[in-house]
Amino acid sequence: MKHQRTNWFNMSRILVLLAGLSIVFGCAAFQLSKNPTISRSIIVGKQNREYVLVIPSTYDEKTPLPLFFDFHGSGSTPEQQIAYSDFKRLAEKKEFILVAPKGLHGNYGRASWNTTMDPQSVDDIGLIKSIIKELTRELKIDEKRIYAAGMSGGARMSSRAACELSYIFAAIAPVAGIQFPDDCTPSRAISVITFHGKKDRVNHYELREESRPYWKKGVEDSVARWVKRNNCKQDPHIEKISDVVTKLTWNKCNDEAEVVFYQIEDGGHTWPGSPIVLDSPWAGKTNSDINASELIWDFFEKHPFH
């Protein structure tokens, strides 16, 4: 197996993800048995793009492993996202390969994702395809188990990825930012698990006049459109998880797909169950009744590509 080796980045401190967050990362050579986190770059078109790669220490170069994209929120970084979502820990525990790309698209002056497919901006779909091509050449990837999740802007990116690359992704998990763009035309049904707080002050649960320009639909509208596109043939099964968390499940969809929506009454613009609880007025409450990351991985395991 040949690798395009890159030097590990040195940093004493990652910039604050959300108020008060700082995380220290060391530097090391690329050795799977010692430190499985790798900083890499790749050329997409004429642009240099970056991503973080996490390979479980049990990787043996023989057993195909799932590939999991984790897209950061606007203004965040790959390193911050994998800490916030806790997917780095899960990648080791559950044995999947984790990829956290770095966004470049300008959004309110912050690095984000080209979810509107603006032809004058960066090619994020091209970035995803290039990373998959590179990693399937270098690593043993289970091509029926390629997934995407993301927070906020990263949730919108995972939604867009499902629209454009439904022939690649088996399932997606947008957190605090699901959308179904008007130009979304997936070639097959795709399983979706999503989480959203009704008190989200950034990506409003219900569309408002003051909602940000990129926020085109309310949460229930987007969920309903994924349900319709997947041709799910029954009303949702409703389960009360706690006083503030309700789980809605649509199944009997095309291609054995499923749509699951965790509706959080008092949830803010946050990641449920995150080990990092944000102390910020605009972020709002982090729900601890459920662990979104654990639920996402359990869902993904049940939904390979069909």
- Tens digit of each residue's pLDDT (9 = 90 or more) over 134-179: 999 999 999 999 999 999 999 999 999 999 999 999 999 999 999 9
Q: Pick the more confident residue, 284 or 33.
A: 284
| Residue 45 or 71, more confident | 71
Comparing CA positions, the residue from 84, 18, 88 lying closest to residue 53 is 88
Which CA distances in Å does 220 have to 49, 60, 294?
A: 34, 43, 23
- Strands 105-107, 171-175: pairing is unpaired
For residue 180, is pLDDT > 60? yes
- Which residues, in sequence order, are CB contacts of 16 under 8 Å at separation 6+? 22
How large is the average pLDDT for residues 193-208?
A: 97
SS3 of the chain: CCCCCCCCCCECCCCCCCCCCCCCECCCCCECCCECEEEEEEEECCEEEEEEEECCCCCCCCCCEEEEEEECCCCCCHHHHHHHHCHHHHHHHHCCEEEEECCCEEECCEEECCCCCCCCCCCHHHHHHHHHHHHHHHCCEEEEEEEEEEECHHHHHHHHHHHHCCCCCCEEEEECCCCCCCCCCCCCCCEEEEEEECCCCCCCCCCCCCCCCCCCCCHHHHHHHHHHHCCCCCCCEEEECCCCEEEEEECCCHHHCCEEEEEECCCCCCCCCCCCCCCCCCCCCCCCCCCHHHHHHHHHHHCCCC
Please give the Cα distance from 290 to 48 (Å, whole number): 38
Find how far residue 55's CA is from the centre of its chain: 17
Which is nearest to 69 in space by CA: 145, 3, 167, 177? 145
Which domains does the chain possess? 37-302 (3.40.50.1820)
Percentage above 70 pLDDT, the chain: 87
Instruction: State how far Cα 279 lies from the chain centre.
Output: 22
pTM of the model: 0.88
Which among 98-107, 260-269, 277-286 has the top mean pLDDT? 260-269
Bridge-based pairing of strands 237-240 and 171-175 is unpaired
Tell me which of 81 and 4 has the higher pLDDT.
81
